[in-house]
Amino acid sequence: MRSVLIFDSGVGGLSVYQEIRALLPHEHYVYAFDNAAFPYGELEESVLIARTSKIVSQLVQKHSVDLVVIACNTASTIVLPTLRTQLDIPVVGVVPAIKPAAALSQKKVIGLLATPATVKRRYTQELIAEFAKDCEVLMIGSTRLVEIAEQKLRGELVSVAEIQEILSPWLERVDGIVLGCTHFPLIKNEIQQAFSTPVQIIDSGKAIANRVKALLGESDSKSKSVKANITYNSAASHHEAALNIFLIELGLSPIKNLNLPHF
């Protein structure tokens, strides 16, 4: 049995955890989210690197982690080089699924739905230039959709009308949407409902799961995990009770606090 750490600034990485666990159900999982600094897209790069490196390194040592997944597009474009020099285990990041979306599009007009930080990154522009040369790529950077996804997992109602308003520039235009934030698969159904015509919605969750499986290799155990999967956060929340219900349904523990010193 191997231990896999999945890290995000919020609960969006749970969409990645679900894909990985579906493919590798017998491994041990640690899910950690740095909600004290949420959302990561608003942090200075030096602060983001420092926080991520500290939390991830601490948990890798504590749980003898075999592989780390940085389940955050913003963090992946910034902290992976640092983490890979600090750790002697594989570190997997996430990137927007521009390439498959461009290949599937019939209209050759696709939408990239991400955070404002991801939309602005040069890395994102390079992905578009390399893999979507024949497409018009429309972009929306929305922090509000991240908040809606967080609220959904805490038991609050989601307004499809509000999502439709955010996506209004794309209605009737795109035939494919790239979910460029790991929070967005959590509201995939609501995003689909915002469109009156069918639209393909593509995220990188399954690709990440396949990459994790390739790096870990075949499991040496077909029995169920004897270690309880664990959830950590970096700050107490008033909404933990509702979120804990969802975490237990996913096979994770109720939230434990990291008790990090201030930094």
Binding site as annotated, residues for substrate: 8-9, 40-41, 73-74, 182-183
Strands of the sheet containing 136-141, edge to edge, are 136-141, 109-114, 176-179, 200-202
Question: CA-based diameter of the chain, in Å?
Answer: 52
The closest of 56, 67, 55 to 29, measured between CA atoms, is: 67
In one-letter notation, the amino acid at residue 193 is: Q
Pairing mode of beta strands 109-114, 176-179: parallel
Of 67, 163, 181, 194, catalytic: 181
Adjacent-strand bridge partners of 255: 231
- Would you state the structure tokens that stand for residue 73, as one six-digit string? 């597009």
- Would you state the structure tokens that stand for residue 139, as one six-digit string? 């972009």
Q: Do residues 208 and 18 lie in contact, with contact meaning Cβ atoms separated by under 8 Å? A: no
Of 37, 68, 71, 72, catalytic: 72
Cβ count near 81 (within 10 Å) = 10
The closest of 227, 254, 255 to 66, measured between CA atoms, is: 227
Rounded Cα distance between 248 and 28, Å, is 15
Rounded Cα distance between 257 and 247, Å, is 15
Instruction: Let me know if 135 is a catalytic residue.
Output: no
Pairing mode of beta strands 28-33, 67-70: unpaired
Instruction: Supply the residues annotated as catalytic.
Output: 72, 181
